[in-house]
Chain A
Amino acid sequence: QQQVKQSPQSLIVQKGGISIINCAYENTAFDYFPWYQQFPGKGPALLIAIRPDVSEKKEGRFTISFNKSAKQFSLHIMDSQPGDSATYFCAASMRKTSGSRLTFGEGTQLTVNP
């Protein structure tokens, strides 16, 4: 069962533009929503994360917007740079005393043209 759906599958943006990636989740028990960046041949690197008690979180050029009622969250990359070209994954997890597992979206391949 796919619990986190991510779109678009691929995205092409010009340098300096805004990249927007969207995710939707089903399980209302999820309480932690991170975004990971992955370059070819590398492991995912944590980019930014949010909890459902806030609607927005910004770190540098990266912003997460969170809509709890719609069960959606999105990543905005401002002033996109060619070095941002990578695959981005949204994820979700819920805290349990038995542990915490991440459920990932399918990924978005971002290309930023110079």
Chain B
Amino acid sequence: DAGVTQSPTHLIKTRGQQVTLRCSPKSGHDTVSWYQQALGQGPQFIFQYYEEEERQRGNFPDRFSGHQFPNYSSELNVNALLLGDSALYLCASSRGLVKDTQYFGPGTRLTVL
């Protein structure tokens, strides 16, 4: 039973560029959430997707956008990258929108130079 997978593992970008991160949820899960984890801090909620729609959003600017596909996989897009966007981006999946239990992937380490 495959867990949550994310790609790529690492990414280096320069300020002003755009980036796309990808996530495949755990088998049987249909809800995907994205979190940003800065070094030495706890994960911060970005947004959550269910039935291909953004259902909840945290306190992140519109530069952060996402998408969910019919197969439940998801993408996180960040435009106009800033140095402060450097972080570990985590994807979590759950079975159903109101289910509490979320399982995390290994994350994508984004470095903005």
Contacts and interface: CB of A to CB of B under 8 A. Distances in A.
Interface of A: 6, 32, 34, 36, 41-46, 49, 89, 91, 93, 95-107
A42 B102 CA distance: 15
Contacts, number: 73
A43 B100 contact: no
A104 B103 CA distance: 14
Contact of A107 (B40, B45, B92): B40
Interface stretch (B11-19, B48-56, B66-74, B79-87): B48-56
Given A43-B107, A100-B99, A101-B33, 6 more contacts: A41-B109, A43-B105, A100-B98, A101-B48, A102-B43, A102-B45
Nearest to A109: B40
